[in-house]
Amino acid sequence: MILEAFLLVAAALFAIGLFGALTQQSVVMLMMGLELMINGIILAAAAFWFFLAPAPDGQVIVVAVVTAMAVEMAMGFAVVTAIYRAKQIDMTDSAAELEG
Whether residue 72 is contained in a domain is answered as: yes
Whether residue 100 is contained in a domain is answered as: no
- Counting the structural domains of the chain, the total is 1
Point out which residues pair with 91 in neighbouring strands: 26
Query: For residue 18, what pLDDT is reported?
Result: 95
CATH number at residue 29: 1.10.287.3510
Residues of the chain falling short of pLDDT 50: none
Whether residue 94 is contained in a domain is answered as: no
Domain that holds residue 22: 1-89
Query: For residue 96, what pLDDT is reported?
Result: 66
Distance, C-alpha 65 to centroid of its chain: 11
Whole-model pTM: value is 0.76
Whether residue 82 is contained in a domain is answered as: yes
